[in-house]
Structure 1
Amino acid sequence: MAGDTPRSRKTRSTTRSAGQGAKSSKVSATSSRKTAVHAKAATTTPPASTTAKAKTASASKAKTTTSAPPRRASRAKAASPKAAAAKPLNLISPEARLARIPVTEVEPVFEDGLWPAKAVENESFPVRATVFREGHDALGAEVVLIDPQGKETMRSRMYDVAPGLDRLEAWIKPTGVGDWSFRVDTFCDPYQTWAKEASIKVQADQDVEMEFELGARLFERAAGGEAVNNPTQQAPDAKSAARLLDAAKAMRDQSRPVQERLSVGLHSSIRGIFRTHPLRDLLESSRTYPLRVDRERALYGSWYEIFPRSIGAYKDQEGHWHTGTLRTAAADLPRIAAMGFDVAYLTPVHPIGTTFRKGRNNSLEATPEDPGSPYGIGSPEGGHDAIHPDLGDFDDFDYFVKKAKGLGLEVALDLALQCSPDHPWVKNHPEWFKHRPDGTIAYAENPPKKYQDIYPLVFDQDYRGLYNAVRDVIQKWIDHGVTIFRVDNPHTKPVQFWQEILAEFRNKHPEVLFLAEAFTRPAMMRTLAQVGFHQSYTYFTWRNTRKEIEEYFDEVAWESSPYMRPSFWPTTHDILTQVMVDGGIQAFKMRAVLAATGSPNWGIYSGYELIENVQRPGFEEQIDNEKYEYKPRDYSGETAQEMMGLLTTLNGIRRRHPALQRLRNLKIHETTHPGVVCFSRHLDAWESPTGVADTVIVVVNLDPHDTAIGAIHLDLSALKISGSSSSCFKVRDELDGKVYDWGSANYFELNPYDRPAHIMSIEAS
């Protein structure tokens, strides 16, 4: 079965420390803590219905004794044996009691199973556990996947991925949305025990006939129906049963040579039967662990961000600005869809306050022509549940959503929980804000940034009232077709609030997704993801060197992947890094390739096509920032057309290759050049929606100025390519269509101006 294919990765044992800030930190949001597992609660006493599956389990249980009482108990009056048997000691809690074959350190498990691991429908992922037992008898372990209705849907055999450390792994794949669960079943594997011991004893001429008789009886048990596969619980078919009985007969036939009799019992056909239909003696189940499965867009998608007021805006002959609207913004949707994007992300569309309104480049003085920041939400025209009159009304918003959906685009809306001084909540609910000693309301600060036009919300004075108001806002936009919310600065609100409101909308609208825009400390980012955010912005924007990229890509693909789904953005309306300033169009190309292939979810901010890379002095953001002014753009020029072509190509590659639509399949490969990174993504046929294996190899020159020449050394086993290191296979560069013969070592020459990267797909042989 599909899950029986082992798929291993090196066990990680290093712990990285977190820096003080998102920009300067050289670690990721998740490296400060390994995947949380709690051995103390990894197993519980199994239910009787589970142990009853193995005929020998009840006998084993009868032989099991409880822990010895404390020494001082001998001073008390001795109880009769009958009384002692009637009242067994209960010195170990059910939660702490080990199974007959111990299971510890189960992954992925968070906060002792209080918070679920994450997956999307039809996404495979690994489950790991430490499984061991006393003595030398062989054991077996399987991961059992259980659907939201409580039905077992998949059972995947676990394989040793860390020899000597008893670390086992299996891959499972949920097939639908909902609250799933999984557990680990362990058992004694009598066939594997017999195969090992018989091989040794027959060679040593010890107890030969006894070993053959033991083997024959195992085969008869299996043929008689004790060995079953899962989840169908079917015994071996008639052909397999007959083969088992014939093997039993042959092993008892003393007229045959000893080695021939042994070979019969160890034949690959017999091993295959016991692999799919093992005898499960001493079968027990661990506790079940939660798994939340979301729709695919929670993991895979391409976002395009717009300020709708800029699209269609113009300055008249007298120098006065005229705003764009939701309908003029809708006119740009065909261009966005043609580039292959899946999500049209709107910055806030609400009324903007005038008190302390910011001018151009965050100036404290605004002119009558300055539209203000859309994040300064609220005016007499309304708050978070209203639309800025300049943009239109809800009929216009509905038109935008309908047109987007007709083009295959989902609409994401910025959810910025903050208010301008003119927001209706300020007057109607002063208890929702922080008041200073002089009676004024404190404005928002994120040192060194100050937001005089924004009042942050306070949740501790009327939590339920504020909660209900936010809930109603979210519901209103869902009613108007929004299916994704990009949440602005969620780390400045209580995590408890997010946990509750995300749970409510997951229950009412499981199709609605939430992206956390939290460039902050690792613990906060990790916990926001664990309590329910479907996606998270990341530190990708500040990872530039080969070492930084290799470590971070590996981390988000493996260490944090059970709970956090990354979203890679080369730039945002708040962030323009120095590498983009210095590198020009070459840097924009290079970072787009990295973002589009390094994460299944990525996005760009409009204007990326125009290489807008001039910083505001002293700040890591664009000058003439669109947050504070209209910014209409002309995409007809040569540079824009070139970049639009690249973005279209990248999104097309992502759609053609399901390996790029998954997160937990990345492998870093060695290169001889310090400025070149190479990684691959592979998807087995059983995991792929096409039913065909898919492999993509990405090679990127990180230097936007100089040509990089060198070689890459591929780990062919990670690519599932059999043969020697000299084996050749054909690869096709998805960026230009050229085909090459590659092997384990391959030459590259990457010019950042003409060819900054390879995105190679392995051609079918």
Structure 2
Amino acid sequence: MTGRFPIEDVTPSVSCGRYPAKAVVGELVPVSAVSYREGHHALGVNVVWTGPDGETQPFTRMRPGEPGLDRWHGVIKPDRVGRWTFTVEAFDDPYQTWRNAVTKKIGAGQGVEDLANDLAEGADVLDLAAKIVPQEHEERVRTAAAALRDDHRSLFSRVSPALDLEELLWDNPVRHLVTTTRSYAIWVDRQRALFSSWYEFFPRSEGAEIGPEATPIKHGTFATAAERIPAVAAMGFDVLYLPPIHPIGKINRKGRNNTLVARPEDVGSPWAIGSDEGGHDAIEPKLGTLEDFRAFIRTANAHGLEVAMDLALQAAPDHPWVREHPEWFTTRADGTIAYAENPPKKYQDIYPLNWDNDPIGLREEVLRVVLHWVEQGVKIFRVDNPHTKALNFWQWCIAKVKAVDPDVLFLAEAFTRPAMMNGLGKIGFSQSYTYFTWRTTAWEMREYMEQLKSSIDWMRPNFWPNTPDILHETLQHGGPPMFKIRTVLASMLSPSWGMYSGLELFEHVARPGAEEYIDNEKFELKPRDWAGAERAGRSLAPYITRLNTIRRENPALHWLRNTEFHEIDNAELLCWSKHDPESGNTVLAICSFDSANVQWGNTTLNMPALGMDWHERFDVVDQITGASYEWGQHNAVRIDPYVEPAHVFVVHPRR
């Protein structure tokens, strides 16, 4: 310990300050620390924070939390992208010490004679305070000091002006014996790093046509895919994610449903990147040209969508890297290059990279590729399997990219061990895929959300009900109500969520014995009749549109830190709320996990979490159905999954 007063357990601090904590512009970031002192003198604690350009912000006074624990709490609100820093300071507060003593002594019946020294000492403290407070308050403080010294006044009239300065001198304290912690860092991203709605589609399937026996007779292009953009925007999405758009390997190309032998008309997996037509900095010729891609981005931007690009660091056997830099791969005992394996799965069409043979050369090439696409207008990268690459590379690469453009964001597609997923968040990934898909009961989801909430300083979740690789059995067998349930949970629990195209058409047929779609779009074109499905009433698109509209209209849903769970006496139901103190907006949601049966439940709401006292009544308006009710702490709910599997209420206090 250094300094006059102990300051311990400072938060946010990621791995003892080894990595910057995370926040976004406009986020209310809680700062806390444990600090205490000897004796009965008052201790003050505050946060001093510094912006990306080195300018110090007005310090934020911290307030004590639960009595007896000596934990102090404050909130800061960064307003720009970049690296912020903060320190916590503890100090002797002579005004608070004086005020506490005087009020106790007067309460004990002591008079002017007993308080002569206290009155004189208080006046001296106010002389110091007069030099600190804003100029418009200086005269008020000097007048209070003069009153303390005026022995012609009554005790009440002498001390009252000084006691009334409590709020002013809380915000502008006299500080003695200031003790300062080390500096802690917070990287602040733009708001889309925390709040976003993603939609994934394969450009090659949009505008494609299929002949007999699924034989491609027309391949989609960026131009035909752009025709789908208005519909995606109309559903309320703000990020359009594209699987790899690079040339696809021809050697060991996979056929339909991951078969080892491809027919001449098979299009292959976009993740088998590279051929004689180019590598990671090239465009698949069947999709169009680089200018066509830039035009696609411009069209998306015009509709309020950002284009997220897949960054898959692996190569097909005929990728130019294999020929030009064989040292970037692993050579086996027989002299062949090792292809990717995840036993029992084999990926003969993909060579993984080796990050140890030439780490400097490889990382410089990847950085060049990423910055190439940044120059084309890509500001978001969905990174494929980042947990299979060296973490020190990612830490270096992300920092280098953000030094060029701090608005660039990275989503980690890593369904792996918790330590690795958390580690990727700590070293710089802006968002992370999660275990959401496999949390299928109310208690599992509540427990998992509590874990994610406690990790928000380094790992921001993005919830996906489905991906091209993942079709969970709940969607395979749960029917349309389960599709609604999973989209409500994803979009209302997490500030960021995403879906793979086909979810809105209730696609649910899996490859036998697998947790993925049959006739998988990773290996073939899959044109869909979007308009026909909507005309026939077989589309979830209107429901998804409503959910995204609710998200945009309610600031409480833009954050994760504010998620609070409430008790409900039915294990099939989950009840939670989000309250935004700045806007006063509060959303209260109840969702069933049962897609087949009607469920009843009785709530016991944590009223302060809703911004109200325990006894208050309030109105709730269901944002899905429009129904309204009068509620209080205890309420009965009935959920029929075939009508609506969830309530999403906006709370209106009666005041």
Letter in 2 for 1:553: M
Contact 2:141 2:162 survives alignment (8 Å): no
Residues 1:273 and 2:168 aligned together: yes
Residues 1:175 and 2:79 aligned together: yes
Residues 1:573 and 2:468 aligned together: yes
Q: What's the counterpart of residue 573 of structure 2?
A: 676
Q: What's the counterpart of residue 477 of structure 1?
A: 373
Name the CA distance, whole Å, in 1 between partners of 2:554 and 2:131: 40
Q: What's the counterpart of residue 217 of structure 1?
A: 121
Name the CA distance, whole Å, in 2 between partners of 1:640 and 1:120: 39
Name the CA distance, whole Å, in 1 between partners of 2:135 and 2:92: 18
Name the CA distance, whole Å, in 2 between partners of 1:659 and 1:126: 16
Q: 2:436 aligns with which of 520, 523, 540?
A: 540
Letter in 1 for 2:646: A
Name the CA distance, whole Å, in 2 between partners of 1:684 and 1:227: 34
**Offset, 1:568:** 0.7
Q: What's the counterpart of residue 237 of structure 1?
A: 137
**Offset, 1:150:** 2.1
Q: 1:741 aligns with which of 606, 630, 633?
A: 630
Q: 1:456 to 1:640 in 2, by over 3 A?
A: farther
Name the CA distance, whole Å, in 1 between partners of 2:444 and 2:158: 54
Q: What's the counterpart of residue 87 of structure 1?
A: none
Q: 1:209 to 1:330 in 2, by over 3 A?
A: farther
**Offset, 1:111:** 3.6
Q: What's the counterpart of residue 561 of structure 2?
A: 664
Deviations 1:353-408 (A, max 9, x none): 12222122212222222211111111111111111111111121111111001111
- 1:144-223 aligned at under 5 Å gives the runs 144-205=48-109, 209-211=113-115, 213-215=117-119, 217-222=121-126
Deviations 1:53-90 (A, max 9, x none): xxxxxxxxxxxxxxxxxxxxxxxxxxxxxxxxxxxxxx
Letter in 2 for 1:431: E
Q: 1:704 aligns with which of 585, 588, 595?
A: 595
Q: 2:486 aligns with which of 574, 584, 591?
A: 591
Q: CA RMSD in A?
A: 2.1
Residues 1:756 and 2:652 aligned together: no
Residues 1:651 and 2:548 aligned together: yes
Name the CA distance, whole Å, in 1 between partners of 2:551 and 2:120: 54
- 1:28-39 aligned at under 5 Å gives the runs none
Contact 1:154 1:172 survives alignment (8 Å): no
- Give the unaligned 5+ runs of structure 2: none
**Offset, 1:110:** 2.4
Name the CA distance, whole Å, in 2 between partners of 1:123 and 1:501: 26
Residues 1:292 and 2:187 aligned together: yes
Contact 1:382 1:423 survives alignment (8 Å): yes
Letter in 1 for 2:622: D
Contact 2:95 2:169 survives alignment (8 Å): yes
Deviations 1:406-455 (A, max 9, x none): 11110101010111111111111111111110111111112332211110
Name the CA distance, whole Å, in 2 between partners of 1:516 and 1:262: 64
Contact 1:146 1:154 survives alignment (8 Å): no
**Offset, 1:227:** 6.5
Q: What's the counterpart of residue 554 of structure 1?
A: 450
Q: Give the alignment's TM-score, normalised by structure 1.
A: 0.82
- 1:357-436 aligned at under 5 Å gives the runs 357-436=253-332
Q: What's the counterpart of residue 308 of structure 1?
A: 203
**Offset, 1:291:** 1.3
SS in 2 for 1:148: coil
- 1:14-163 aligned at under 5 Å gives the runs 97-163=1-67
Name the CA distance, whole Å, in 2 between partners of 1:640 and 1:133: 68
Name the CA distance, whole Å, in 2 between partners of 1:290 and 1:640: 51
Q: What's the counterpart of residue 57 of structure 1?
A: none
Name the CA distance, whole Å, in 1 between partners of 2:123 and 2:67: 29
SS in 2 for 1:436: coil
Q: 1:249 to 1:645 in 2, by over 3 A?
A: farther
Name the CA distance, whole Å, in 1 between partners of 2:562 and 2:260: 48
SS in 2 for 1:113: coil
- 1:480-491 aligned at under 5 Å gives the runs 480-491=376-387
**Offset, 1:263:** 7.5
Q: 1:705 to 1:212 in 2, by over 3 A?
A: farther
Q: Give the alignment's TM-score, normalised by structure 2.
A: 0.95
Q: What's the counterpart of residue 608 of structure 2?
A: 717
Name the CA distance, whole Å, in 2 between partners of 1:273 and 1:665: 30
- Give the unaligned 5+ runs of structure 1: 1-96, 686-691
Contact 2:148 2:159 survives alignment (8 Å): no
Name the CA distance, whole Å, in 1 between partners of 2:344 and 2:60: 52
Q: What's the counterpart of residue 49 of structure 1?
A: none
Percent identity (aligned): 47
**Offset, 1:576:** 1.4
Letter in 2 for 1:137: H
Q: After the TM superposition, which of the residue ranges 444-453 and 642-651 deviates more from structure 2?
A: 444-453
SS in 1 for 2:547: helix
Deviations 1:131-186 (A, max 9, x none): 11111211010112211222222422222223322121111111111111111111
Name the CA distance, whole Å, in 2 between partners of 1:319 and 1:287: 64
- 1:494-573 aligned at under 5 Å gives the runs 494-557=390-453, 559-573=454-468
